[in-house]
Structure 1
Amino acid sequence: MSVTIALVDDDRNILTSVSIALQAEGFATRVYSDGETALKALVDNPPDLAVLDVKMPRMDGMELLRRLRERSELPVIFLTSKDEELDEALGLAMGADDYISKPFSQRLLIARIRAILRRAELRATPSDAEPQTPEAAQIVRGRLAMDPARHRVTWDGKDVTLTVTEFMILEALAQRPGVVKSRNQLMDVAYQDDIYVDDRTIDSHIKRLRRKFRQVDTEFKGIETLYGVGYRFGEE
């Protein structure tokens, strides 16, 4: 079955050209020209990944992403213009897995899509042909429990829903409590294929991770910042 990518943009030229490029790479595509129409479709019949533009009629990309994250952790790539740095930061803080600045190369977009889909596949439940002991795959660090096979995270037994990128960053920190991971190390974990992202990207994901954990524990302090060095998962 083909992997399905949803494209949401009010620019018909972008929808057409990107859709053709993706189909040539073996992807199935769905296209939407406004956020309001896209929201219902993305929730009712989720694709494997969505690419969202910022400026659209009826509902812009920011509002679409916000409402989508209330109901789904669908992988999302956020499109923004080069002069919209604030939008980039907000998009990541709201839960986008990645962002690309316009104008962008289709080759870069396809590389980013493949990288995120691979990360999502790593988090998928293994098939019966790949038996493993569930307990052995889990990571338990004090009040934190992570089950990579099921892409499940709990804190004090309460579920915390994470995007694919957020999960991989937290997993890298939780694997070695107390050990500091630099931003570059976390970028290597979260972004493959020599894809460049800047420090702000990792910082935005960390902020959103903390925000999600504080929704179930207002006193959450599990992810510590060492200014000028990086981040670590605190030992309890």
Structure 2
Amino acid sequence: MRRSFTVALERYGYGMSAAADGLTALELFRDEQFDLLILDVMLPGLDGIGLCRRVRETSLVPVLMMSARGDGLDVVAGLEAGADDYVVKPVDTYVLVARIRSLLRRATYAPPAPAPSPGAADGDVLVFGDLTVDTAGMEVSVGGAPVALTPTELKLLLEFAAHPGVVLERHTLLRNVWEYGWDGDSRVVDLCVQRLRRKLGRERIETVRGFGYKLRR
């Protein structure tokens, strides 16, 4: 599978480095510069979950997790470890490429101009209490301290910040942030919101049961 995906993705124009186990992959990651990582959950030596955690200690590079099970603890554990999205094996190459393209777009995302808001200090900076979101500089701070967000976490926060106080449904977030053209797995939304809460403060994003989430004004 590793060889077939490497050949297929190279045909789409991607430069690839492949590793047969987690420890070798970690060495590659430390020695080279990558735009995106694809991690299989079931890696020998150091599994994909552990590898993702090690990567997140030093990097915000987009991570796509690959799992043999579409439902279960593997998916949840991968997303909690910091993965941005996941695909389930077996996966068609065109689906894998679509997820890769979506993640790479998030990594170079330029947000639309937010609607006027009482929280806006100027056209590019939004302030919600001690949370400051610089939409031009793509920087976030809480209480003046910078907060490091992955591209997916940042795009999700920007989506909330563009609609403060408005309830955003999960399928809307899947479409606007993850670019799912169909109803995807809402767990990616729930777990990414959990990661945002850990970094920004649990009270910042409110759950509206049965509907979705909203950023408190």
User: What is the TM-score when the length of structure 1 is the normalising length?
Assistant: 0.82
Give structure 1 stretches of 5+ with no counterpart. Answer: 1-13, 125-134, 215-219
The answer to whether structure 1 residue 234 and structure 2 residue 216 are counterparts is: yes
The answer to whether structure 1 residue 115 and structure 2 residue 102 are counterparts is: yes
Q: Deviations over 1:50-96 (max 9, x none)?
A: 00001111111010001111111110000011265211011112211
Give structure 2 stretches of 5+ with no counterpart. Answer: 112-121
From 18, 24, 27, the equivalent of 1:31 is 18
Q: Partners in 1 of 2:180 and 2:203 — Cα distance?
A: 32
Q: Partners in 2 of 1:57 and 1:37 — Cα distance?
A: 10
User: What is the TM-score when the length of structure 2 is the normalising length?
Assistant: 0.88
Q: Determine if contact 1:43/1:72 at 8 Å carries over to the other structure.
A: no
Q: Partners in 1 of 2:142 and 2:132 — Cα distance?
A: 6
Deviates more, 1:41-50 or 1:109-118: 41-50
Which runs of structure 2 are paired with 1:71-82 in the superposition (5 Å)?
A: 71-82=58-69
Aligned to 1:49: 36
- More helix as a share of residues: 1
Which runs of structure 2 are paired with 1:153-168 in the superposition (5 Å)?
A: 153-168=140-155
Which runs of structure 2 are paired with 1:1-236 in the superposition (5 Å)?
A: 14-82=1-69, 85-123=72-110, 136-192=123-179, 194=181, 196-214=183-201, 220-235=202-217
Instruction: Please tell me the residue identity of whatever aligns with 2:46.
Output: M
**Post-superposition shift, 1:44?**
3.6
**Post-superposition shift, 1:196?**
4.5
Q: Determine if contact 1:224/1:232 at 8 Å carries over to the other structure.
A: yes
The root-mean-square deviation of aligned C-alpha atoms, in Å, is: 1.8
Q: Deviations over 1:106-137 (max 9, x none)?
A: 1100010011111111159xxxxxxxxxx633
Q: Deviations over 1:27-51 (max 9, x none)?
A: 1111111111211321342310000
Q: Determine if contact 2:69/2:75 at 8 Å carries over to the other structure.
A: no
- Structure 1 stretches of 4+ with a deviation exceeding 6 A read none
Please give the secondary structure, in 1, of the residue aligned with 2:74. Answer: helix
Please give the secondary structure, in 2, of the residue aligned with 1:31. Answer: coil
Instruction: Please tell me the residue identity of whatever aligns with 1:194.
Output: G
Aligned to 1:217: none
How many equivalent residue pairs?
207
Q: Determine if contact 2:109/2:155 at 8 Å carries over to the other structure.
A: no
Q: Partners in 2 of 1:27 and 1:19 — Cα distance?
A: 9
Please give the secondary structure, in 2, of the residue aligned with 1:71. Answer: coil
